Amino acid sequence: MSWSATVLTLFPEMFPGPLGLSLLGKALQKNLWSLQVRDIREHGLGKHRTVDDTPAGGGPGMVMRADVASAAIDAARSVCGAAGPERPSIYLSPRGKPLTQARVRALAEGPGVLLLCGRFEGLDARAIEARGLEEISIGDFVLAGGEIAAMALIEAAVRLIPGVLGAAESPAEESFSENLLEYPQYTRPQSFEGWDIPAVLSGGNHKEIARWRRAEAEKLTKERRPDLFALYEKQKH
Ligand code: SAH
């Protein structure tokens, strides 16, 4: 069985969207990974297939109902076999634990994910508890729905599945791999608007190049992400 993402959403037509293009799209066609998209509204109530209601305690907006979301999760778990601790059930949420490359790597090494995309003001807290959903955020900002967050998580994980990226795009030495941001990249032309490629990169001395890249990565990380740099230093010693 290939790595598999099950997505529960009110907007199934958003998928596969960008996940169907380029290397990920080709990998999807080759069954290197699979995607099941399920419409939460199929579990909506009544003639109008209602999925939301007003917030208890008042306030603006609507809240996704616990009974509807849970029914969608239960159905997905039984049909797609998407249960179990080895296949985490995740609710994309700005209140979740921030997604990191380390977590992405761990998810990519597992059998897949079940992702619930919120809408409106979010999901009734009881569904999160009752179905043991883990909350994951893709950053400290608020999206209109969980779909783009789900796509970001899937894209980050799938590109790490062996065979998805060509050997040429190996993810071995990229940003966050050792708590470092990546060194700057250059390609032809040799001279661009008066700026030359750093001489060391054209010198052919691989040791020198590796040393230069490491130093640049450290400098960049220290400047831009002191939080990451502290982790890098700690891990080095
Ligand atoms: N009222 C909520 C925000 C709801 S946004 C709050 O203040 O916390 C609607 C939906 O978009 C959420 O249910 C969630 O699924 C998704 N979403 C918004 N921002 C997100 C983020 N940073 N990471 C992951 N999902 C997000």
72 and 132, same structural domain?
yes
Q: Which ligand 1 atom is nearest residue 140's CA?
A: 22
Q: Which of 133, 158, 183 is the endpoint of a domain?
A: 158
Q: Are residues 86 and 200 in the same domain?
A: no
Residue at 167 is within a domain: no
List the structure tokens of 231.
């982790």
181 and 125 within one domain: no
- Mean pLDDT for the chain? 95
Task: Report residue 1's pLDDT band, with 50, 70 and 90 as the boundaries.
Answer: confident
CATH number at residue 218: 1.10.1270.20
Find the distance separating the first CA and the last CA of the chain, reported in whole Å.
40
Query: Do both 113 and 193 map to the same domain?
Result: no
Q: What is the pLDDT of residue 82?
A: 61
| Ligand 1 proximity of 97 Cβ (cutoff 6 Å) | no
Nearest atom (ligand 1) to Cα of 95:
8
- Average pLDDT score over residue span 98-104: 97
Does the residue 96 lie in any domain?
yes
Residue 196 inside a domain? The answer is: yes
What per-residue confidence (pLDDT) applies to 203?
Answer: 95
pLDDT of residue 201: 98
The Cα–Cα gap between 53 and 69 comes to 12
Q: Is the pLDDT of residue 85 over 70?
A: no
Residue 172 has pLDDT above 90, yes or no: no
The CATH code of the domain that includes 57 is: 3.40.1280.10
Q: Are residues 70 and 100 in the same domain?
A: yes
Residues 51 and 188: beta-carbon distance below 8 Å = no
Per-residue pLDDT at 86 exceeds 80: no
pLDDT at 135: 98
pLDDT score recorded for residue 23: 97
* Res 213: pLDDT: 97
Task: State whether 78 and 179 are in the same domain.
Answer: no
Whether the per-residue pLDDT at 123 is higher than 90: the answer is: yes
Is the same domain home to 201 and 228? yes
- Per-residue pLDDT, 29: 98
* pTM (whole model) above 0.85: yes
Quick: pLDDT tens for 14-63: 999 999 999 999 999 999 999 999 999 999 999 999 999 999 999 999 99
Q: Look at the block and give the residue holding tokens 């470092």.
A: 180
Find out whether the beta carbon of 92 lies less than 6 Å from any atom of ligand 1: yes
Looking at ligand 1, which residue's alpha carbon is closest to its atom 16? 146
Q: Is the CB of 146 under 6 A from ligand 1?
A: yes
Over 80: is that where the pLDDT of 78 sits?
yes
In sequence order, what are the residues at sequence separation of 6 or more whose Cβ sits closer than 8 angstroms to the Cβ of residue 87?
4, 110, 111, 112, 113, 114
Burial degree of 101 (CB within 10 A; 0-12, 13-18, 19+): middle
Look up the domain containing 221 and give its range: 174-236
139 Cβ contact list (under 8 Å, min separation 6): 98, 99
| 20 CB within 6 A, ligand 1 | no
* Residue 194 placed within a domain: yes
79 and 133: one domain? yes
At residue 168, the pLDDT reads 62
Q: Is 164 inside any structural domain?
A: no
* 143 occurs within a structural domain: yes
Mean pLDDT of 72-97: 87
206 confidence band (pLDDT: 50, 70, 90): very high
Residue 163 included in any domain: no
Residue 89 contacts residue 134 (beta carbons within 8 Å) = yes
Last residue of a domain, one of 132, 158, 184: 158
Q: Is residue 95 part of a domain?
A: yes
Q: What is the pLDDT of residue 202?
A: 95
Ligand 1 pocket check for 167: Cβ under 6 Å: no
Say what percent of the chain tops pLDDT 70: 96
Q: How many structural domains is the chain composed of? A: 2
